[in-house]
Structure 1
């Protein structure tokens, strides 16, 4: 199996995820949970020359085709990140971007695609409040 997006593979901490969703988009790639110095270097050196969060979000949105399911869209981003050499935290980065877009553009995604299996009732309630 080739692999793809799985929110259960996200290793992004809850605090970092909530901070990212709550903050304004600054353009700084370091603000995206799961992207560190090596990831920033990889993004800047890829053929799309992703230099800021606006471009990364733009790439994420460009991969969304009108007939795609949410899972297919997230899988497309996962495969793109893999193809450029992002080897860790792919699902976490996608989950962070997807939840950010879910808050910013409520009809683009349903929040259910980003739910993890280990989310307890309290976390699910907090997520629902966060996403409103």
Structure 2
């Protein structure tokens, strides 16, 4: 029987990324290495690369975030969809909100109004 995963909505107030690390990521050029995203280290990179939909670059991760956009603009729903997708990729629970925040904020700078 498959393990049931608890779905807790995205909450920006529970992120643990340092403000300076997030700001640096937002300002920086995207090089493609997933480790440039705050909170993504080797273990997370390995999990993202697994499965039918392997993610191996920051560009692909941002693309996945964009692909999960709801038909009608809804930032909360968009972030929840991305968080649950990350959870399904077996990303550690304590990293989920941090990664969602980083990708959502970076995307907002690249494509204002997207989320």
The normalised TM-score by structure 2 is 0.89
Which of 101, 104, 115 is the aligned partner of 2:107?
Answer: 101
The normalised TM-score by structure 1 is 0.78
Q: Flag structure 1 segments of 5+ consecutive residues without an equivalent.
A: 110-132
**Count of residue pairs the alignment pairs up:** 109
Matched residue, 2:81: 76
The RMSD of aligned alpha carbons is 1.3
Secondary structure of the corresponding residue to residue 89 of structure 1: helix
- The alpha carbon displacement at 1:104 in A equals 1.0
CA distance in 1, matches of 2:7, 2:29: 35
Question: What do the CA deviations read for 1:83-116 (whole angstroms, capped 9, x no partner)?
Answer: 110023111111111111111111213xxxxxxx
- The alpha carbon displacement at 1:65 in A equals 2.0
Map 1:1-132; keep pairs closer than 5 Å. 2-87=7-92, 88-109=94-115
Q: Flag structure 2 segments of 5+ consecutive residues without an equivalent.
A: 1-5
CA distance in 1, matches of 2:80, 2:104: 12
- The alpha carbon displacement at 1:24 in A equals 0.4
